[in-house]
Chains A and B, each alone.
Chain A
Amino acid sequence: MAAAIEIQGLTKRYKNPLGGELTAVDNLDLTVEKGEIFGFLGPNGAGKTTTIKVLLGLLFPTTGKALVLGKPAGDIEVKKRIAYLPESPYFYEYMSAREVLYFYADLFKIPRSTRKGLVDDLLARVGMTNAADKPLRQYSKGMLQRVGIAQALLNEPELIFLDEPTSGLDPIAHADICNLILDLKVQGKTVFVSSHQLSDIEAIGDRVSILVGGKLAMQGAVKELLTTQQMEVIADGAGDALVSAIKGYVAECEIHAGRLTAFLETSENLDKVVDAVLKSDATLVSVNPRRRTLEKLFVDTVRGGR
């Protein structure tokens, strides 16, 4: 079974009108499997949007190959099976949400007999039924984003590109869109999300890649990337005597208002630390593997990559 996206040696250079070139994407290799939520991360100017535009056929690669659903990027047959939500989507402002969806439905050649029912369903799904006939110029950013999501679902796509789908949204809209992305995964669809909302990707993403300066700096499954060998021990009612007792076994140790938080690089000395806590007057609260956050991984990767 072909991957949803296969990128091999993709390089995209822009010519500067005053001479010289800017390399936006540099020899990128990337594979996105079908049915996964793939987080495409990177700081501003890392080449994320350029890569998405190449995959959609809006830009052409300077060198390299990009396949979408097994066919070259931009192929008209592929476009029937994919969807795209750009960052801050803009539509014709004089239209209403319903008219916008009719417009895109016509581009998909969806028969008029089924168009109305489909549009009504989508409007309900993104919570826009009540405002469906108001002109878009009266919409908030969140409402426009919902319309953008609805237009992206018109063709029941197999693969959906979302560029910053939750940026600037209020918490309700934010949660709704995260839930919708999870629903899409449950339906077996592949979701390719470019986002700066790292907590979202950490919560819903299966795999991520981090792009730095147009190059792939890190790639892998979210769970694997964020899991470490480190252990965390927390105890209440701890004193300096306990700190002294465990100091030789832990990497970091701190006390705030009687709560001890100790980190161990590995679980090798864990039993010694736990013994020391139990023998002291302190109460053991928890012992957990320490998990990195995606934000920490991102910052470390980007700073290391620069």
Chain B
Amino acid sequence: MAIWTIARTTVGEAMRKKVLNICLIVAIAMIVISLSFTQFSFKQDMTIVKSLGLFVILLAGFVISLLMCVSLIPNEVERRTIYTILAKPVNRYEFVVGKFLGGLLTLAINIGIMGAVFVLMVTLKAAFGTDVQSTAGGVGVAVEAAARKVQAFDPQLVLGVVMIYFQFVVLSAVVMLFSVFLTPTVNFFASAGVYIVGSAAGIWKSMYVSGSEANPVVKGFYMLVSNVLPNFDRFNIQNKLIHPVQEFRGGPMEYVGLTVLYAVLYSLVVMIAAVIVFERKEV
């Protein structure tokens, strides 16, 4: 119950943060503006709208999760609100988990709003968009209109948004762990670094797998980086969604399901570490 009380309050506070609101508004504006692309063929326009929309959600999600989570615990210490909370019958783990869940809920609301606007915009574009080339030529309009009706709502885009959310669940857990012992500024750069390195996990893995003649120390480093740091590359399914020629191994639902499971387990382990550290932290 204390976890839920703290989580609810965290959401209430985070949703009032101007910097996060501005991120959300700018992201929504960019998604909406992308509707105005009518320079190319309908298919190309759709590709641009989808790519841009998912990229904007990814970028905004990254900024929101980092800016929000980096200050969740330090702010409580700085403002001394933590004293009155931990002086109540609240276990330290309840406090950390409550803050984390509050952060995840805030993230879900923000990404959910952006995702809903994105899917709506793509659907509208697909249903009512104008194809400059085909209308100019006057050929194939009826065929294309029929095709649009079929593809107007693309449920796979929702999977893309879900994958974006879950990679920031993992990032938020990492930020929370760091926030227990790092200052917010150091945490910001450390977590951003983990995200950047983790997003290239595929590259590190290929380097230690393929580089058989490489120095064992270098191989060991690549192996460590690709196995210990979160593999954010795994969440990157935008290309497969936008260009369906690239197929998911085992189908999209299975891939997404396994990746979500990975996110949950990884976050769980990181949060257990955060709780252990916070149990002995002096505030």
Interface of A toward B, CB cutoff 8 Å:
53, 56-60, 76-77, 79-80, 82-84, 86, 88-92, 94-95, 103-104, 106-109, 148, 151, 161
Contacts and interface: CB of A to CB of B under 8 A. Distances in A.
Contacts of A103: 5, 9
15 contacts: A53-B83, A57-B86, A57-B87, A59-B283, A77-B89, A79-B88, A84-B87, A88-B80, A92-B9, A95-B12, A103-B9, A104-B88, A107-B88, A108-B89, A161-B87
A107 B83 CA distance: 13
B74 to A, nearest CB: 14
B72 to A, nearest CB: 13
B213 interface: no
Nearest to A94: B16
Instruction: From B79, B83, B282, name the one whose CB has the most chain A CB atoms within 10 angstroms.
Output: B83
Given A56-B83, A84-B84, A94-B13, 14 more contacts: A53-B282, A57-B86, A58-B87, A58-B282, A59-B283, A60-B280, A77-B89, A79-B90, A80-B89, A84-B83, A88-B80, A92-B9, A95-B12, A109-B2
Given A92-B12, A92-B13, A106-B5, A56 B87 contact: yes
Interface string B241-283: 0000000000000000000000000000000000000001011
Nearest to A151: B84
B142 interface: no
A107 B81 contact: no
Nearest to B83: A86
Given A59-B282, A86-B83, A151-B84, A107 B16 contact: no
A136 to B, nearest CB: 11
Contacts of A80: 89
Contacts of B5: 103, 106-107
B87 A91 contact: no
B84 A104 contact: yes
B105 interface: no
B32 interface: no
A244 B12 CA distance: 77
Instruction: From A77, A80, A83, A107, name the one whose CB has the most chain B CB atoms within 10 angstroms.
Output: A107
Instruction: From B1, B16, B84, name the one whose CB has the most chain A CB atoms within 10 angstroms.
Output: B84
B190 interface: no
Interface string B61-91: 0000000000000000001110111111111
A209 to B, nearest CB: 21
B9 A58 contact: no
Given A58-B283, A76-B91, A107-B2, A94 B83 contact: no
Given A89-B80, A92-B13, A94-B12, A107 B282 contact: no
A148 B81 CA distance: 11
Interface of B: 1-2, 5, 9, 12-13, 16, 79-81, 83-91, 280, 282-283
Contacts of A58: 83, 86-87, 282-283
A76 B282 contact: no
A59 B5 CA distance: 24
Contacts of B16: 94
A90 B89 CA distance: 19
Given A90-B81, A91-B81, A92-B9, A76 B87 contact: no
A56 B80 CA distance: 14
B179 to A, nearest CB: 18
A76 B87 CA distance: 9
Given A58-B83, A92-B12, A94-B12, A108 B88 contact: yes
Contact of B81 (A79, A83, A92, A109): A92
Given A60-B280, A79-B89, A92-B12, A109 B1 contact: yes
A147 B268 CA distance: 37
Instruction: From B9, B87, B283, name the one whose CB has the most chain A CB atoms within 10 angstroms.
Output: B87
B70 to A, nearest CB: 18
A91 B81 CA distance: 6
B9 to A, nearest CB: 6
A104 B5 CA distance: 9
Contacts of A86: 80, 83-84
A151 B84 CA distance: 9
A79 B87 contact: yes
A241 B84 CA distance: 65
A53 B2 CA distance: 21
Contacts of A82: 87
A151 B83 CA distance: 12
The 3 closest A-B pairs by CB, nearest first: A84-B87, A106-B5, A107-B88
A239 to B, nearest CB: 61
A162 B5 CA distance: 25
Contacts of B87: 56-58, 79, 82-84, 161
